[in-house]
Structures are given as structure tokens and as C-alpha cells.
Structure 1
Amino acid sequence: MVKTLMKTTALALVAGLVGGTAGAQVNLTIATASPGSVVYLTTAHLAAVASERGIANLQIAEGQTLTNTVLDVAEGRMDISEAPMILPFLLSRGMGPYSAQGEAGAALASNLRALYPYNAGGFFVFTMASSGVTSWDDLAGRTVFNGPPRGAALTNARQAIQLAAGLEDGPGYTGLQANWGQLNSMLLDGSADAYVFPTVHPSDRVILMESAGDVNIISTPREIFESEAYQRIFNMPGNIPIELPFSEAGYDEHVHLLGSDDGIMRALGTAFATVVNANMDYQLAYDLTAAHIETLEQFRNSAPMAANAGHGIVDQRLSGFCGANQLRYHPGAVAAWQDRGFDIPDCAEPQN
């Protein structure tokens, strides 16, 4: 499947970067987030191994608005996109950023298929140790960065704060919104008392904060995380539980975990998948997925955060499939996973 990528400001031909592409069979377009994120890292790895194996040359459009590129894949204008799993659900309902699609959104969403899942991290509180914020309750009356002005990150950050501390943006604390590109400077200039955003650990942003002093990462307390009210949020498409031993987070002695009685970091997490159009050739989907699976160890060794992003986990609850989430795997992807000993949930397999 060869298509031309339209309306992109950041197009990179990965084949020219990694070399060894003479045997590649097709050219494919793929959209991803900005460099430095685990989302981009996932894309870059697939591009490299697909080229090395002669499967395809992947042209990467980086720094994209995934809301738009998921729609591009559904409509056949792009081959592959990284996707927060909430987006196929919203498209299927014609809701939020897809309200213009209305009832047609259901048919468009049915065109999407997943190759493999992963996650973009959990929502923790990040704060300088000198701030005096040592719990979610301490966010009361404070200025808290909670994401960009619009989008799933802001909604989930507000939700995480309300469930953990009973505080609403406005009456409970002053929410501060800014684009992701502004966050790095804000982490150091004192714009906010605390920050709530999704991240995979170890996070470059936490390490950046360390340059100004010791940093506290505040976990969702276990009694709250395990409560019935909190567990209900994992029934919503795109939400998954994140539980990670702090000893595996990769930080030095200047980063401290608070809010956990057993050394486990707990948070509301954001499920992602690499999605393609349902019409992608079966063998191509199989080969791309197989390349991903067979190089998981290589990927996990490619960057410190890569080991903690859930690649290779296809468990229904931990990957975010099924329930109200109608996204299903591509048949070629299912076969690739099953041929390598993984069990794909029946509810995540394609119906036709």
C-alpha cells in the first residue's frame, strides 16, 4: 500500500537514515509525536527494523496532531499512525474532536486496526521537594500544570486529581495549561507549584527538574488506587492501570517517591496502539508486527524509558483493549502475535 503524505511539515525518509534498504518492498507513511517521547521512539524503532528486514521504507511525519492522523488512516490518506486508544472510541461516536464526522464516525472507526499496543505513561504529581507538596491533598489552593489547553491529557489529569484528592480545577486548585513545547521551561521557572502529566520512567522532564534540586514523584496511594471508584476509570477506553516498582524507574537519590507504602508507583495510564487501515495487506501487517515482536529486547535496550512502556504486553486490562473500546487487531497482527506464543483476547480479534 503506497500513498502520498499530504499536509505534513516534518517528513523524514527513515530509509536514508538507517541504510540497508535495497530490499525494502514498499514505501509507507507513518505519523507520530515529537522526538523525545516513547511514542516517537516506538515509531523510529519500527522504521529501522522494517527497513533492515526489507519489509518497507517508512516515511516518518513527526510532531503530528494524532487526532488528525488517526482520521487520515481511517480515511486511507495515511498508512500508519500512533494512536491514543481513546481516539478510535471518540471517532466511533462522532464525539469531541470528531464531532464533525457525526454518525459517519462509526464507519470510519471500523476501518482502523491495531498492530501492537503500548502505553504513554502514567499521571503522577511531579514537584520540587522544596515546594512543600508531599501528597495529592497538598494540591489544594496551589497552581498545578495539568496539560495542554485541550485534549485527553488535560481531561485525564483533572480526573486523576479529582479521584485522588477530591479537588476540581478552579475551586480546588488553579489549573495551568500550556502547550507541551512550553513545559520544559515551566518545570524550572516556578510557573507552577506542581505538575500532573503522563510520563514513562525514567522521564527526561524529571531529570531536567533535578537540575534545580531534589524532586518528588507522588504516586496515587494504594488504598485510593484499589478503591472501587478509582478502578471504574479503567473501564473507560484509553485508560489503563500503571504499576511500576520505583526501584525500576531509573532515578538517582535526588528523586523521591511519595504516596506509596510499598515502593510501587501507581497511576492512571494512557493506552496507545500503532494503527493501520483495515485494508492493509495481510502479509505486510504480519511482517511489520513480527518485526516489532522479534526485536522487543532490542527496543527495550534502545533508551532507558523503553523498558517501562508496556511493549509486548497484550493482556486485555493492561493493554486497554475490549469493553467500550471497539478497536481490534489486524488479522495479520493477530497471526504474528499468536505464532510467537502470545494470547490475543478474543474480544480484540477482528470480526471479519
Structure 2
Amino acid sequence: MRKLEMTASLLAACVFAVSAHAQVNLTAETTSPVSVPGQAVLTLGEVASAAGIADIQVATGQTLTNSVQNVAEGKTDIAAMPFLMTFLLSKGAGPYASLGEEKGAELASNLSVLYTYRLGTWGLLAYDSKNFDGWNAIEGATIYNGPPRGAALNVARALVKLSTGLDEGEDYTGIQVNWGQAVKTITDGSADASVLPLNFPDGRITQALASGAITVWSMPKDKYESEATKKYINAPGTIGVTAPKNGLFGDEVSVVSEDDTFRGIGVVGGEIVQKDMDFELAKALTKAFLDNIDVYEAKTPFMKTIYLGETDPSLTGLCSAVPVKYHPGAIAAWEEAGYTIPDCAKP
């Protein structure tokens, strides 16, 4: 009888533990649902809930520059993060200049990574009705190039500079609005063209096609192969991306390139948490991702092209000058699943 009582008590304790684990409530921030980081964080919320790990309240349409700082300060549990932002934060530079280097480095040291992906590849696009002549038409034009603060705006300005030598404010006018208004800004005619992060195919373009045919311009081949661009794509969290242009954005979108290849500047990042997140929780969240990569890839066609499940630093952007590493719990999940995590990406 006592043995039965003990067994019943153990079962009750296990049920209580699972129930308590499922009651964990977390917050997360990401960009619009039609973007890679939007889909990634929303899907993490879905698979974490299905696995009984946590209920994640996701705020979409956020500027990730702010989201990164919120996680570092403990105001948010999870955020999508371009790794360029962690570098800038660690230096107290760019949008984090007001923090100063010491405070920025302290905040950056609070961050850890669960898993990674490519957020987007920057390109130039315009409605055919605008009769926009690609890179040759940038000078004097009005260009929508992302939110008011953040990695996207920095990369968009850099892509124009590398492709044309032109600077915003001096040679062309930039328009910045938050991601939640991106499609509206593309379609309302307030800009002549847009320089934005794109995916293959791209969710924003798919929505914007309802207002007319669109053309996307590849980065000019000679500019892509220049020493200046090679140096830029070796910057923290930045990579060069090439892909066959035919059908890249769907049959209704024209792609202009000197050959059959689309070229652009890509940004890589991933899901971040505080480094002091509970080991088992970080492990469970990462395992939920690894067990459900097929669920992520089934969400939209572009999710199959963003390097999910990769650990090679040339695709993840980790190591080198990127100051963040994988969370120890995440490392345990990756290694138990049979992946190899480079030593340079371990704390």
C-alpha cells in the first residue's frame, strides 16, 4: 500500500511539474508577420506552446534596434536580432551612441542566441508604372528605405552608396516608416522606389503586387565584386548573397541583372534571449525549433531559403566580430540533435 501511495505521489509531482512548466509566460518582439523574423518568432511561439514549454506573447511590427535593447535590459524575454545590432550595441555606436561604449558593452554581454537565420537580402524595387530606371534613377529620387532606426536602414543606405556612390540627404531623399506601415508606404506612391530587405519570394512584394507590376534590380555585378563591397559584406552580421534570378520573386516580378544572377547584401541574425535565461528553458525552446524546422519551412515559401538549421559561421554570422554566442542550453539542444557548434560560437 505504501508503495502505491509513493507511486501516486511521484505521478502527482510529475504532473504538477509538467503543468508548472507549461505555465511559463514569456514575451517576445519581432518585425511584421510577413518578414523572416516575424515568421520565426511567431512560429517559435506556436511550437513552444504545442510542446508545453511556454506561452509566448509576441509583439509584431517592432523596430529590432529597440527590441535588442529591451532583451538586454530584461524588459523582453525573446527578440529577433540582426547580429550587426549586437556589434553596434557592444561599441555604443550607431543607434546606440547615446548609451556610450561602456554601457553598450555591458548590455551586449547580457545576450545569448538560441538559433540563427538570414533576415533578408537588400535590393531595389519599384512599380513598373513609375518608369523608374533602376540604380541610374536614384539621384534626385525619393526612396523608402526602412524604419527610422535600425540595421535595415543602415544596410539600405550602404547598398545605395556601394551601387551608385550616392548619399541620402545630399543626392536623394529617404523616407523612413516602421515595418507595420511598409506595404502601405510601398503602394501609396509617396516614394519613387524602395530599397528594402527581400526574401525569395518576398511577402511584402506579394502584397504590393495587388497595386501593379513590380521590378527588382540586382546590385550591379561590378559593384558587387568591388573591393568596397567585399569589405562591407565581411562586416559583423553581413554576408553577400547570390541566387538565380529566374522566378526568384515569383513569375509576376521582373528581375533586372546583367546576367542570370541576382546579387545583394544579406543580413543574418537569430533569436536572442538573456544569457541568464534558465538552462532548461533555453534548451527546451531550442529543441522545439530543431524538432519543428519543417513547421517553420511550411509557413511561407521563403522560409525554406533562409539557412534554418545551419551552424556554419559563414552562414550564421556568428564568431568573428559578432560579440554574442549561443546560450549554453541552446548548445546542449543542438549537440543532442547531432549538430556541431563551432568553438568560436560557444561562451
Superposition TM-score, scaled by structure 1 size? 0.85
Q: What is the correspondence of 1:239-258 to structure 2 with a 5 Å cutoff?
A: 239-247=238-246, 249-252=248-251, 254-258=252-256
Contact 2:140 2:172 in 1 (8 A): yes
Correspondent of 1:82 among 74, 80, 83: 80
Measure the CA separation in 2 of the matches of 1:128 and 1:65.
26
Q: What is the correspondence of 1:174-185 to structure 2 with a 5 Å cutoff?
A: 174-185=173-184
Q: Cα distance, 1:78 vs. partner?
A: 2.8
Partner residue in 1 for 2:15: none
Partner residue in 2 for 1:38: 36
Is 160-169 or 310-319 further displaced after alignment?
310-319
Partner deviation per Cα, 1:53-86 (whole Å, 9 max, x = no partner)? 1222222233334333322322333322221212
Partner residue in 2 for 1:98: 96
Partner deviation per Cα, 1:292-312 (whole Å, 9 max, x = no partner)? 112111211112222223322
What secondary structure does 1:167 align onto?
A: coil
Partner residue in 2 for 1:144: 143
Q: What is the correspondence of 1:43-122 to structure 2 with a 5 Å cutoff?
A: 43-102=41-100, 103-122=102-121
Measure the CA separation in 1 of the matches of 2:98 and 2:143.
32
Kindly indicate whether residue 281 of structure 2 is the aligned counterpart of residue 313 of structure 1.
no
Measure the CA separation in 1 of the matches of 2:299 and 2:53.
21
The letter of the residue matching 1:82 is A
Contact 1:235 1:323 in 2 (8 A): no
What secondary structure does 2:299 align onto?
A: coil
| Aligned-residue CA RMSD (Å) | 2.4
Q: Cα distance, 1:283 vs. partner?
A: 2.2
The letter of the residue matching 2:47 is V
What secondary structure does 1:310 align onto?
A: coil
Kindly indicate whether residue 146 of structure 2 is the aligned counterpart of residue 124 of structure 1.
no
Partner residue in 2 for 1:325: 322
Percentage of identical aligned residues: 43
Partner deviation per Cα, 1:292-341 (whole Å, 9 max, x = no partner)? 11211121111222222332222212221122211111112122223333
Partner residue in 1 for 2:346: 349
Partner residue in 2 for 1:4: none
Q: What is the correspondence of 1:265-276 to structure 2 with a 5 Å cutoff?
A: 265-276=262-273
Measure the CA separation in 1 of the matches of 2:70 and 2:191.
36
Contact 1:69 1:81 in 2 (8 A): yes
Partner residue in 1 for 2:9: none
The letter of the residue matching 1:348 is A
The letter of the residue matching 1:28 is L
Q: Cα distance, 1:221 vs. partner?
A: 2.9
Kindly indicate whether residue 299 of structure 2 is the aligned counterpart of residue 302 of structure 1.
yes
- Cα distance change of structure 1 residues 59 and 187 upon mapping to structure 2, 3 Å threshold: closer
Contact 1:114 1:327 in 2 (8 A): yes
Measure the CA separation in 2 of the matches of 1:142 and 1:192.
8
Contact 2:63 2:150 in 1 (8 A): no
Q: Which structure 1 residue ranges, 5 or more long, are not aligned?
A: 1-20
Q: What is the correspondence of 1:131-210 to structure 2 with a 5 Å cutoff?
A: 131-210=130-209
Is 320-329 or 34-43 further displaced after alignment?
34-43
Partner deviation per Cα, 1:139-196 (whole Å, 9 max, x = no partner)? 2332222223333222211110111122222443333333434432332333222111
Is 187-196 or 239-248 further displaced after alignment?
239-248
What secondary structure does 1:326 align onto?
A: coil
Q: Cα distance, 1:342 vs. partner?
A: 2.7
Which 4+ runs in 1 deviate beyond 6 A?
A: none
Contact 1:147 1:176 in 2 (8 A): yes
What secondary structure does 2:22 align onto?
A: coil
Count how many residue pairs are aligned between Structure 1 and Structure 2. 329
Which protein has the larger Cα radius of gyration, Structure 1 or Structure 2?
Answer: 2
Partner deviation per Cα, 1:93-121 (whole Å, 9 max, x = no partner)? 12233334321221221111000111221
Partner residue in 2 for 1:9: none
The letter of the residue matching 1:269 is G
Q: Cα distance, 1:260 vs. partner?
A: 4.5
The letter of the residue matching 1:42 is A
Q: Cα distance, 1:134 vs. partner?
A: 4.3
Partner residue in 1 for 2:335: 338
What secondary structure does 2:295 align onto?
A: helix
Measure the CA separation in 1 of the matches of 2:242 and 2:99.
36
- Cα distance change of structure 1 residues 313 and 266 upon mapping to structure 2, 3 Å threshold: farther
Contact 1:144 1:175 in 2 (8 A): yes
Measure the CA separation in 2 of the matches of 1:108 and 1:170.
32
Partner deviation per Cα, 1:36-69 (whole Å, 9 max, x = no partner)? 3221211111111112112222222333343333
Contact 1:240 1:319 in 2 (8 A): no
Contact 2:32 2:179 in 1 (8 A): no
Contact 1:144 1:174 in 2 (8 A): yes
What secondary structure does 2:37 align onto?
A: helix
Q: Cα distance, 1:211 vs. partner?
A: 2.8
Q: Cα distance, 1:247 vs. partner?
A: 4.3
Measure the CA separation in 2 of the matches of 1:111 and 1:149.
25
Partner residue in 1 for 2:257: 259
Superposition TM-score, scaled by structure 2 size? 0.86
- Cα distance change of structure 1 residues 208 and 66 upon mapping to structure 2, 3 Å threshold: closer
Contact 1:241 1:318 in 2 (8 A): no
- Cα distance change of structure 1 residues 177 and 26 upon mapping to structure 2, 3 Å threshold: closer
